[in-house]
């Protein structure tokens, strides 16, 4: 079998015939399958890409054969730091490098035989694409979803770039893994928090894998609680806190505010130990994320000398501390501390010798905080209540009646820091005018193109390279016409990928990001598959953009993705994550070269559960190669007949059912296993009919499209990609006989093959006639007999006493 010739031949056929072109004006049912478009890095495709695409590749090929109009597109998410850094290193323009990398990727994707619609390829770095990224950004600006703020940001000194919280997890830069420092910067934000509730609500309507839904819910992190106003006696100022446990208000023995809380600066002359406070603030600001996590247990803080708070429910006077275990970014930056019933407050109180007052019965507050439920004590009008919900409700009523608090909601999700100080990204289309403020670039001037510059290296000041291009920076204010300066920061990498699935629908539209008509036909994405690592960032970001466009009436549905799944990683042969430094990277090109694309595709899907990680095994792949050889050589025993062989018919119908069902649930490994069983059976008989062979080729086609097309052509048939998916008859999947298992006390003691329609009574009788069963029930009392039709008989016996 000349694998290389066969694969090249069919790849050319598909390209010449545009076999996988999605039709815009079709009365067929549509199916939109989406995979995460690759970042075209210099090293080319890795096995992970192939696994990520192979799943929906199989589904798409099956759908086409089932008569659907399938949109299965691909593109490139090509803006970003790695390309820019590599371009600087090699001293070539990122544009040149990007084009080169994309070419490499396209070549590799085609060699694997993916059935993408190559007429819809998009590249986020092309002005005709990012024009619309900027356009959507300006729409958000227009609707007040973009704002600028001076804040402490995560700054990577090595990449010289501001990072979002998501990009700097664990205090390390997501890109170069160096330590992040805090730095004050002008930051552009997208107000994603305005959509927190909608993003959460929307999850109820979609069909994401449960763990994916859960991760998104946790990321949004909604909590319901109460805002309560405390008063600071000395200055008469209100200090509002957020709590989820207002039922414990009577147990408050101190308060804590975040080190960055504005009250401190505002009233510094009223604070007697202000020097000590300043020292603490200084220390807290230098603590890296890493140190903070290491010191979770060890609470630090300083009492504010000069402030006393008054508990609004019982007028108790209590001290106020500052401590870095309270974060300015969540709630109000201030908490009421109930050490008897909160672990962190407990530790703090122990360390600073603050009284601990229990208000819920249960636990032992001399050793630990009690966070469970119980009867309310020491709590005025709440005393005696046993149910947490009722207590909270009662307290809320009290707070609202007396105007000292109200119910409220908080989210963990933060607004999205949306600017980067790098060249290779979409320019933010804003002009800074000293008279008019931040002014949007007019829509008709889009795209605001990246200037073609010689030196795009970042400056030491952390400014964008664009800041050095005077012809870019200096401009006229679109509003007043006076001299103004352009924003020089660019958008983060997540920008272009936040709406790309919409562009596939209408990739060449020059007037709109996509026509409503076409969106109406194609949306929603029926099935979106990608990496688990993108579930909390990209998927949430893009849902946010889509929700916004929906509110503007520009897209037809309220959620973009109907279904979302995720594939597991492919690990190195050593069971570790593949990485250059470990030297365990397998190059897909080598595998295609050695075994061919069909073997690679099939093996990747055969390795194990598609959703779980699995190690690469260099000898296991040989099994797939052998299997494909077997399929190939079956052609020598085909006899011409348009009927299934009688002795194979039942297995064929069962296999059609199994493969069809398994593809839908992404159980590709067992689908392939059942095809192997069928092939083994074919091999054990003297001859197979043309129809027997055809059905095998069709079922196997989504996995191994090249060789199956070739064999199908040898049979004299029209191409499989233009034929229909095999159907099975339910009645033919049922055997005439079955193997009845006979158990005594749950242990297997015998098996016999009997007619499928044997009655319960007959089964029980036959069971007791088996010799080995007789031995085990001899001289024992039969207590009862459990019979499962078409399966087993279990005889329960006990000793005769």
Tell me the window of 421-429, 581-589, 608-616, 756-764 that interacts with RNA (CB under 7 A).
608-616
Q: Report if residue 229 touches RNA, rule: CB under 7 A.
A: no
Shortest CB 39 distance to RNA, Å: 17
Give the DSSP letter string of 701-713.
TTTSHHHHHHHHH
- Classified as helix, coil or strand, 663 is helix
Q: Sheet harboring 474-476: ordered strands across?
A: 437-440, 430-433, 483-486, 474-476
Contacts of 109 (CB under 8 A, 6+ apart): 45, 53, 74, 116
Please identify, using beta-carbon distances, which residue of 68 and 208 lies nearer to RNA. 208
> Considering the complex, what minimum distance in angstroms separates the CB of residue 191 from RNA?
17
By the rule CB under 7 A, 49 interacts with RNA: no
Contact track, RNA, 758-787, x by CB under 7 A:
--------------x--x--------x-x-
Whichever of 373 and 739 has its CB closer to RNA, that residue is: 739
* Residues 102-114 as b or e (16 or more Cβ within 10 Å = b): bebbbebbbbbbb
CB atoms within 10 A of CB 652: 23
Select the residue interacting with RNA from 101, 125, 488, 794 (CB under 7 A).
794
Q: Which position among 178, 293, 759, 765 is part of the footprint of RNA (CB under 7 A)?
A: 293
252-271 binders of RNA (CB under 7 A):
258
Do 58 and 552 touch, CB atoms closer than 8 A? no
Contact status: 2 vs RNA (CB under 7 A):
no
By CB under 7 A, how many residues form the interface with RNA?
87
Stretch that binds RNA, among 184-192, 289-297, 302-310, 372-380 (CB under 7 A): 289-297
Query: Restricting to residues 418-447, which ones interact with RNA according to CB under 7 A?
Result: none
For RNA, the binding residues in 532-591 under the rule CB under 7 A are 532-533, 536, 577
- How near is the Cβ of 281 to RNA at its closest, in Å? 14
Q: How far is the CB of 127 from RNA (least distance, A)?
A: 33
- Of 45 and 335, the one with the shorter C-beta distance to RNA is 335
215 binds RNA (CB under 7 A): yes
Sign of CA dihedral 339, 343, 344, 349: positive
Q: Does 245 bind RNA (CB under 7 A)?
A: yes
Distance of closest approach, residue 798 Cβ to RNA, in angstroms: 10
> What span, in angstroms and rounded, lies between the C-alpha atoms of 68 and 30?
6
Instruction: Choose between 553 and 746: whose C-beta lies nearer to RNA.
Output: 746
Instruction: Write each residue from 726 to 765 as x if it is in contact with RNA (CB under 7 A), else as -, in one continuous string.
Output: -------------x-x-x-xxxxx-x--------------
Give the three-state DSSP class for 269: helix
Binding test (CB under 7 A) with RNA, winner from 13, 147, 267, 330: 330
Structure tokens at 384: 């005696």
Is 92 a binding residue for RNA by CB under 7 A? The answer is no
Give whichever of 29 and 286 is closer to RNA, judged by the CB atom: 286
Q: Least distance (Å) from RNA to the CB of residue 295?
A: 6
**Helix, strand or coil for residue 370?**
coil
Choose which of 26, 90, 211, 285 interacts with RNA (CB under 7 A): 211
Residues 443-502 that bind RNA (CB under 7 A): none
Q: Which of 592, 607, 666, 721 binds RNA (CB under 7 A)?
A: 607
Q: With respect to RNA, which residue has the nearer C-beta, 45 or 212?
A: 212
CA atoms within 13 A on the CB side of 762: 10
What are the backbone dihedrals phi and psi of residue 681, each rounded to the nearest 5 degrees, phi first? -65, -45
Binding mask 691-730 for RNA (x = CB under 7 A): ----------------------------------------
The Cα 477–Cα 431 span in angstroms is: 7
Instruction: List the x/- string, 152-171, binding to RNA by CB under 7 A.
Output: -------------xx--xx-
Q: Cis omega before residue 447 (within 30°)?
A: yes
**In contact, 73 and 30? CB cutoff 8 Å:** no
Residue 556 per-residue DSSP state: S
User: Least distance to RNA from the beta carbon of 36, Å?
Assistant: 16
Q: Are strands 254-257 and 302-310 parallel, antiparallel or unpaired?
A: unpaired
- Bridge partner list, 224: 409
SS3 of residue 650 by DSSP: helix
Helix (H) or strand (E) holding 780: strand 780-788
The smaller minimum CB distance to RNA, of residues 268 and 620, is found at 620
Stretch that binds RNA, among 59-67, 218-226, 422-430, 691-699 (CB under 7 A): 218-226
Q: What x-and-dash track marks residues 652-681 binding RNA by CB under 7 A?
A: ---------------x-xx-xx--xx--x-
Q: Yes or no: say if 53 and 35 are a contact pair by the CB < 8 Å rule.
A: yes
- Structural contact between residues 329 and 149, judged by C-beta atoms closer than 8 angstroms: no
Q: Which of 676, 719, 593, 606 is nearest to 61 (CA)?
A: 719
DSSP state of 179: B
Tell me phi and psi for residue 709, to 5 degrees. Answer: -65, -45
336-375 binders of RNA (CB under 7 A): 336, 342, 344
Tell me the DSSP string of 585-635: PPPHHHHHHHH-HHHHHHHHHHSS-TTS-EE--TTHHHHHHHHHHHHHHGG
CB 23, min distance to RNA, A = 36
Per CB under 7 A, contacts with RNA among 617-656 are 617, 619-620, 622-624, 626-627, 629-630
Q: Which one-letter DSSP state was computed for residue 381?
A: G
Distance of CA 153 to the CA centre of its chain: 25
CB of 684 to RNA, least distance (A): 6
| Interface of this chain with RNA, residues 103 to 142, rule: CB under 7 A | none
| Tokens at 244, concatenated | 């989820």
Q: How far is the CB of 374 from RNA (least distance, A)?
A: 18
Question: Rounded to 5 degrees, what are φ and ψ at 103?
Answer: -60, -45
End-to-end CA distance of the chain: 72
612 binds RNA (CB under 7 A): yes
Q: What is the largest CA-CA distance in the chain?
A: 108
Q: Within positions 511 to 540, which residues make up the interface with RNA, using CB under 7 A?
A: 532-533, 536
């Amino acid at each position: 079998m000349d694998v290389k010739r066969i694969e090249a031949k069919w790849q050319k056929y598909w390209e010449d015939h545009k076999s996988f072109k999605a039709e815009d004006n079709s009365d067929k049912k549509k199916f939109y399958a989406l995979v995460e478009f690759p970042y075209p890095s210099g090293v080319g495709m890795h096995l992970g890409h192939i696994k990520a695409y192979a799943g929906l590749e199989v589904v798409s090929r099956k759908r086409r054969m089932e008569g659907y109009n399938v949109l299965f597109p691909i593109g490139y998410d090509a803006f970003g730091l790695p390309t820019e850094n590599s371009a600087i290193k090699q001293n070539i323009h990122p544009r040149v490098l990007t084009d080169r990398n994309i070419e490499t990727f396209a070549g590799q994707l085609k060699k694997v035989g993916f059935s993408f619609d190559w007429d819809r390829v998009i590249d986020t770095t092309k002005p005709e694409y990012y024009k619309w990224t900027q356009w959507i950004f300006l729409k958000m600006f227009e609707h007040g979803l973009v704002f600028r703020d001076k804040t402490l940001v995560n700054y990577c000194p090595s990449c010289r770039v501001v990072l979002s919280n998501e990009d700097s997890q664990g205090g390390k830069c997501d890109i170069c893994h160096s330590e992040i420092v805090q730095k004050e910067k002008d930051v552009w934000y997208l107000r994603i928090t305005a959509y927190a509730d909608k993003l959460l609500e929307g999850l109820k309507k979609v069909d994401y894998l449960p763990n994916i839904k859960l991760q998104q819910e946790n990321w949004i992190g909604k909590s319901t609680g109460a805002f309560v106003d405390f008063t600071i006696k000395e200055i008469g100022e209100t200090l509002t806190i957020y709590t989820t446990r207002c039922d414990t208000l009577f147990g408050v023995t101190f308060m804590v505010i975040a080190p960055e809380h504005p009250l401190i600066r505002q009233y510094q002359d009223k604070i007697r130990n202000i020097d000590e406070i300043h020292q603490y603030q200084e220390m807290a600001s230098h603590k890296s994320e890493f140190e903070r996590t290491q010191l979770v247990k060890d609470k630090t803080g300083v009492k504010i000398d000069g402030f006393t708070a008054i508990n609004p429910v019982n007028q108790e006077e209590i001290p106020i501390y500052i401590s870095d275990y309270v974060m300015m970014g969540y709630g109000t930056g201030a908490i009421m501390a109930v050490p008897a019933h909160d672990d962190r407050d407990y530790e703090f109180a122990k360390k600073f010798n603050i009284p601990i007052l229990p208000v819920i019965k249960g636990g032992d507050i001399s050793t630990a905080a009690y966070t469970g439920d119980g009867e309310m004590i020491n709590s005025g009008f709440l005393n005696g209540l046993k149910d947490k919900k009722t207590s909270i409700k009662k307290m809320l009523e009290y707070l609202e009646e007396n105007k000292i608090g109200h119910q409220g909601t908080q989210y963990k999700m933060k607004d999205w820091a949306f600017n980067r100080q790098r060249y290779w990204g979409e320019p933010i289309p804003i002009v800074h005018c000293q008279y008019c403020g931040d002014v949007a670039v007019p829509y008709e001037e889009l795209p605001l193109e990246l200037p073609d510059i010689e030196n795009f290296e970042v400056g030491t000041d952390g400014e964008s390279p664009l800041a050095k291009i005077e012809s870019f920076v200096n401009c006229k204010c679109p509003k007043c016409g006076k001299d103004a300066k352009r924003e020089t920061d660019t958008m983060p990498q997540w920008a272009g990928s936040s709406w790309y699935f919409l562009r596939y629908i209408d990739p060449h539209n020059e007037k709109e990001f996509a026509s409503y008509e076409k969106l109406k036909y194609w949306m929603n994405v029926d099935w979106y598959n990608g990496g688990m690592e993108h579930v909390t960032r990209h998927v949430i970001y893009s849902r946010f953009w889509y929700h916004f466009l929906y509110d503007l009436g520009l897209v037809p549905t309220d959620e973009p993705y109907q279904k979302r799944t995720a594939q597991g990683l492919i690990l190195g042969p050593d069971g570790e994550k593949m990485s250059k430094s470990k030297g365990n990277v397998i190059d897909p090109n080598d595998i295609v070269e050695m075994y061919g694309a069909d073997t690679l595709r099939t093996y990747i899907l055969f390795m194990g559960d598609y959703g779980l990680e699995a190690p690469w095994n260099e000898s296991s792949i040989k099994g797939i190669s052998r299997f494909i050889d077997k399929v190939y050589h079956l052609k020598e025993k085909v006899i011409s007949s348009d009927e299934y062989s009688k002795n194979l018919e039942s297995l064929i119908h069962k296999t059609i059912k199994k493969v069809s069902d398994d593809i839908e649930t992404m159980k590709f490994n067992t689908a392939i296993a059942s095809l192997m069983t069928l092939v083994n059976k074919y091999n054990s008989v003297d001859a197979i009919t043309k129809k027997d062979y055809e059905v095998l080729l069709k079922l196997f086609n989504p996995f191994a499209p090249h060789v199956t097309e070739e064999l199908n052509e040898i049979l004299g048939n029209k191409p499989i990609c233009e034929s229909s998916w095999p159907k099975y008859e339910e009645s033919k999947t049922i055997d005439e006989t079955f193997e009845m298992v006979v158990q005594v006390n749950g242990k297997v003691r015998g098996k016999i093959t009997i007619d499928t329609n044997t009655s319960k009574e007959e089964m029980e009788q036959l069971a007791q006639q088996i010799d080995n069963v007789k031995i085990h029930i001899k001289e024992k009392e039969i207590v009862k007999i459990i019979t499962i039709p078409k399966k087993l008989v279990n005889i329960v016996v006990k000793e005769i006493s």
